[in-house]
């Protein structure tokens, strides 16, 4: 029976919540791309793009879990970009877009504000 590594600190709750919120937001984004009424949404390129978004979000979540500082910066930046992208839809925004924007806002807040999430990532990474 393998031994569990007891030297590793548990992942802080804000980082776990940010990773889950990021996966939720990216899942909504991928679903919105596939459910779009635009004629190009039925093309294979839309499916490939949606799958790429999911794989990218899994890579970011993995980086957050394993204390990769670049993953923190990229995740927060990507979430901020998605918030700005959602604001473009404001005149006729859909409820799912509001949920997506709130999920990404939570990601930015959870990665940048709590001291435990800032301390989780090594300085200078």
What pLDDT tens digit does each residue of the chain (125 aa) get? 555 556 778 999 999 999 999 999 999 999 988 887 667 656 788 888 889 999 999 999 999 999 999 999 999 999 999 999 889 888 888 899 999 999 999 999 999 999 999 999 988 76
Q: Please, which residues have CB within 8 angstroms of residue 85's CB and are 6 or more apart in sequence? A: none
Q: How many CB atoms lie within 10 A of CB 101?
A: 22
Q: How far is Cα 50 from Cα 32, in angstroms, rounded to an integer?
A: 9
Q: What are phi and psi of 20, to 5 degrees?
A: -65, -40
pTM recorded for the entire structure: 0.86
Q: For position 9, what pLDDT does the model report? A: 83
């Amino acid at each position: 029976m393998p031994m569990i590594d007891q030297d590793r600190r548990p992942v802080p709750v804000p980082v776990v919540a940010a990773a889950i919120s990021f996966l939720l937001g990216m899942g909504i984004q991928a679903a919105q791309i596939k459910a779009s009424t635009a004629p190009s949404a039925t093309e294979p390129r839309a499916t490939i793009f949606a799958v790429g978004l999911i794989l990218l979000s899994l890579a970011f979540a993995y980086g957050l879990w394993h204390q990769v500082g670049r993953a923190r910066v990229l995740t927060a930046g990507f979430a901020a970009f998605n918030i700005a992208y959602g604001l473009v839809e404001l005149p006729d925004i859909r409820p799912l877009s509001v949920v997506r924007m709130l999920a990404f806002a939570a990601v930015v807040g959870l990665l940048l504000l709590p001291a435990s999430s800032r301390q989780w990532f090594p300085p200078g990474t």
